Amino acid sequence: MPEGSHRFQAGSITCTVLADGYCSYPTPWFFPNADPGRLMRALEERRQPLESVLSPYACMLIQTGRRVMLVDAGAGESSATSGAILARLEMEGVRPKDVDTVILTHAHPDHIGGAVDLRGRPAFPNARHVLSEMEFEFWSGTQAGLRNLALPEEVGKSMAATARHCLHALRFQLETVTPEAEIAPGVRLLAAPGHTPGHLAVLIASDGRKLLNVGDAATHPLHLEHPEWENGFDLDGPRAMATRRELLGRAAAEDMRVMAFHFPFPSVGRIAARPEGGWVWSPGW
């Protein structure tokens, strides 16, 4: 298996996690409301840097029968540490023209940037690009909610500019949907608002096996252990926390595997409830 890819079977559906790259963010951006002392102790226990979070980007290839689908397209070549998704696909024997559907959990740059090449053209020329109606409306409007971000103002402006650029480039291939839409047999969308207004999760179910791709409903394993800790990229912090609890509670109750875009590779694993609250993360299928 090529480095940076992790293949497994969810029943009869073949899934492959593909590493697109990573980015480093200031730690307060990921945990703006966490008690500093508790946060530092938690990071020290995991032998992780205190000043910054090294955040992976992980997309998921779904192959079912004749269908070739990609959940999120990565950040593209906007930085020197991202943009590997096309190479990862090639190593799996998948060409850009083979992808028939790109599911965009939301329109943040690290999820939609890779859907458009450096010439401003769709990177997956034959694919319909699925995005929630609410997400499209938000990024096509005034993006007033960006004022709620616990981040520098220029970060929000950059996010909005990238979303507008990509959505314009994809306009002839874009399909807006409502939550609960079935994209293919065994592949269904779930509403997961808060991180962005139209943020989606993706549920894969086949032969009694289930996988829940939570997108950015949780962006670090500590968001599982401490679901009350916000993510600075969440447009609506309280709603995002409620969504996180709802999705993870369902995943634990139904014995689902969980995938999260920013979790350490292979970005998929099990969760189990902790006696003191929250969930603990165990990586691997």
Domain count, the chain: 1
Instruction: Please give the DSSP secondary-structure letter assigned to residue 157.
Output: H
Q: Where are the beta strands (DSSP E) in 66-156?
A: 67-71, 101-103, 128-132
Give pLDDT, residue 245.
96
Please write the tens of the pLDDT for every residue from 233-275.
999 999 999 999 999 999 999 999 999 999 999 999 999 999 9
Give pLDDT, residue 79.
77
CATH number at residue 223: 3.60.15.10
| pLDDT reading at 2 higher than 60 | no
Please write the tens of the pLDDT for every residue from 149-179.
989 999 999 999 999 999 999 999 999 999 8
pLDDT over 70, % of the chain: 99
Structural domain boundaries, residue 124:
5-283
> Does the predicted model carry a pTM greater than 0.85?
yes
Cα separation of 132 and 218, whole Å?
Answer: 19
Q: Virtual CA dihedral for 166, 167, 170, 176, nearest 10 degrees?
A: 140
Give pLDDT, residue 80.
85
Residue 1 pLDDT grade (very low, low, confident, very high; cuts 50, 70, 90):
very low
